């Protein structure tokens, strides 16, 4: 009897998890058993690995072979364990020293000819390997470009099983990624395309500084969508940790083709006919498909024509807006997906879009229709919107600052925010908890008096806390040491709901 151990990785939710592959060879009938909750694709790996070894002139052990995948209680899916299983078989037969398998994680699918093929979960697997303390990871060549950005671990790629042996034992050179292959650039829309709407542009800038949620209400054609699509262009670039998280999510979602590592905050704009599972995510067997709120992690989720979304789809956003995550409970899977996003919503004032006082056309909607339309967005959801803007028809063709100029102001304001929050785990005003907000980040005396008056009038603590957060963003933009009375007054004004929402 002999035993060998190698290491692979699978994806659980949107994170990688290390899997210990143990291969046991003993006397008996020539059978192959795979244990440890494998799905069909993992169970079929025994056929792919055995054929691949034969076509590479490598030996398959005679007798009984048992392949154990640990931890046994975690379901394994996908073909990414093929390479790790093959290395375990090579170790148990002595074709590769066992010492060569102790510090490396193997990720990749095997072709029947022994070639190593791309898998969607290579990046989160590499992150998991680095966090677990492994020194190197073997990934397919097509995954190398993304995986090589993970710090603290050596990423190598080989073309075939024979090439892997030569690399681990004899030091053969790793394959380099195709750096000449075209990578789709991250195209950013510019604010200079927006005519007029100076108040809305300023409100968008405040939203960008503090990562505040924002609702825009206006007739069709006033520029709501145009403005929302340009928010990523004024947001700071993702840091290395955020970029890894976002790139891993989009790799698992299958939306990374033709793109390098994502460095710009993602912008997700699902259609109003999207289903609940498309927004929150779905689980098929053990495969998790991230929804729009997870794909918008560290970025922007934009709901255009927000009242047209199904009520249950819109209301499901309330919990992730507070917690920054979505918990999925299914019959065979339970997990937590990240969902720290900035919410932008756009709405017409009524179904026909003409109830705005600035429009020259007459509204044809009955009052009950307008009321029902407004009530499609619930009070608890609207209470989580920090900034509400009513956008009039464009009366001026004046051009405002371009995205580069606004982005510089946003960056400077965020630097003031980070300096103030340097001893805390938060980086933007919207994330500061209410307890810390009231204890450490109070406004001036005049500002506090105005805020107290608002709280007594409205009776809501959440609204007062959100007003204070927005006031801090306004103060950071202006360079104030504390939000003064004018900053609080502007924040209160920004929170006032447009007329169609108070009907």
Q: What is residue 27's predicted lDDT score, i.e. its pLDDT? A: 85
Whether the Cβ atoms of residue 74 and residue 10 lie closer than 8 Å to each other: yes
Over its length of 503 residues, how does the chain's per-residue pLDDT go in tens digits? 489 999 999 988 888 899 999 999 988 888 898 998 888 889 999 999 999 999 999 999 988 999 999 998 888 888 899 999 999 999 999 999 988 899 999 999 999 999 999 998 899 999 999 999 999 999 999 888 888 889 899 999 999 999 999 988 887 777 766 654 444 455 678 888 888 788 999 999 999 999 999 999 988 888 899 999 999 999 999 998 899 999 989 888 888 766 667 889 999 999 999 999 999 988 776 678 899 999 999 999 999 999 999 999 999 999 999 999 998 887 667 788 999 999 999 998 888 877 665 555 678 888 888 888 888 888 889 999 999 998 888 776 777 789 999 999 999 999 999 999 988 888 999 999 888 888 888 889 998 899 888 888 876 788 889 999 999 999 999 999 999 999 999 999 999 887 665 54
Q: How many residues does the chain have?
A: 503
pTM (predicted TM-score): 0.86
Sign of CA dihedral 469, 475, 476, 478: positive
Domain map of the chain by residue range? 2-170, 191-421, 432-498
The dotted CATH code for 191-421 is 3.40.50.300
Q: How many angstroms separate the CA atoms of 138 and 114, rounded?
A: 15
Q: How many angstroms separate the CA atoms of 460 and 463, rounded?
A: 6
The dotted CATH code for 2-170 is 3.30.230.10
Q: Of 72, 81, 5, nearest to 37 (Cα)?
A: 72
Q: How many angstroms separate the CA atoms of 181 and 183, rounded?
A: 6
Q: How many angstroms separate the CA atoms of 70 and 304, rounded?
A: 45
Q: Quick one: DSSP state of residue 444? A: -
Does domain 432-498 fall into CATH 1.10.8? yes
């Amino acid at each position: 009897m002999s035993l060998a151990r190698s290491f692979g990785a699978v994806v659980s939710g949107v994170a990688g998890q290390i899997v210990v592959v143990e291969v046991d060879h003993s006397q008996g009938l020539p059978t192959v058993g795979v244990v440890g909750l494998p799905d069909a694709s993992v169970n079929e790996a025994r056929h792919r690995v055995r054929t691949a070894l034969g076509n590479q002139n490598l030996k398959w052990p005679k007798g009984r072979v048992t392949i154990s995948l640990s931890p046994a209680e975690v379901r394994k899916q996908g073909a990414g364990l093929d390479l790790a299983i093959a290395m375990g078989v090579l170790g148990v037969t002595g074709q590769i020293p066992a010492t060569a398998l102790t510090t490396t994680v193997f990720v990749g699918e095997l072709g029947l000819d022994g070639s190593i093929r791309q898998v969607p979960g290579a990046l989160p697997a590499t992150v998991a390997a680095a966090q677990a303390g492994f020194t190197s990871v073997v990934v397919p060549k097509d995954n190398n470009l993304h995986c090589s950005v993970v710090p603290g671990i050596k990423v190598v790629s080989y073309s075939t099983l024979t090439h892997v042996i030569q690399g681990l034992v004899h030091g053969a050179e790793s394959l380099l990624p195709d750096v000449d292959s075209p990578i789709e650039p991250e195209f950013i829309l510019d604010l200079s395309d927006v005519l007029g709407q100076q108040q809305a542009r300023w409100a968008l800038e405040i939203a960008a500084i503090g990562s505040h949620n924002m609702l825009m209400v206006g007739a069709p054609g006033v520029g709501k969508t145009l403005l929302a699509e340009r928010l990523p262009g004024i947001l700071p670039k993702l840091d290395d940790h955020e970029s890894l998280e976002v790139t891993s999510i989009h790799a698992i979602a299958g939306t990374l083709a033709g793109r390098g590592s994502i460095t710009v905050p993602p912008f997700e704009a699902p259609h109003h006919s999207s289903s609940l599972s498309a927004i929150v995510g779905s689980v098929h067997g053990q495969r998790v498909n991230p929804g729009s709120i997870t794909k918008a992690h560290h970025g922007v989720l934009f709901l255009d024509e927000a009242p047209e979304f199904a009520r249950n789809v819109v209301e499901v956003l309330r919990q992730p807006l507070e917690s920054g995550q979505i918990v999925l409970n299914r019959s065979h899977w339970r997990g937590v997906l990240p969902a720290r996003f900035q919410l932008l919503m756009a709405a017409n004032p009524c179904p026909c879009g003409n109830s705005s006082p600035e429009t020259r056309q007459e509204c044809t909607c009955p009052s009950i229709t307008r009321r029902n339309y407004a009530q499609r967005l619930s009070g608890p959801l609207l209470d989580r919107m920090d900034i509400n803007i009513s956008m009039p028809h464009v009366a001026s063709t004046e051009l405002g600052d371009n995205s580069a100029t606004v982005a510089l102001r946003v960056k400077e304001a965020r630097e003031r925010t980070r300096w103030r929050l340097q001893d805390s785990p938060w980086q933007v005003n919207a994330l500061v908890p209410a307890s810390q907000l009231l204890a450490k980040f109070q406004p001036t005396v005049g500002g506090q008096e105005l805020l107290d008056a608002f709280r007594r009038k409205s009776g809501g603590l959440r609204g007062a806390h959100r007003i204070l957060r927005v006031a801090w963003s306004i103060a950071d933009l202006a360079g104030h040491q504390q939000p003064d009375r004018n900053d609080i007054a502007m924040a209160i004004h920004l929170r006032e709901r447009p007329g169609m929402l108070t009907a």
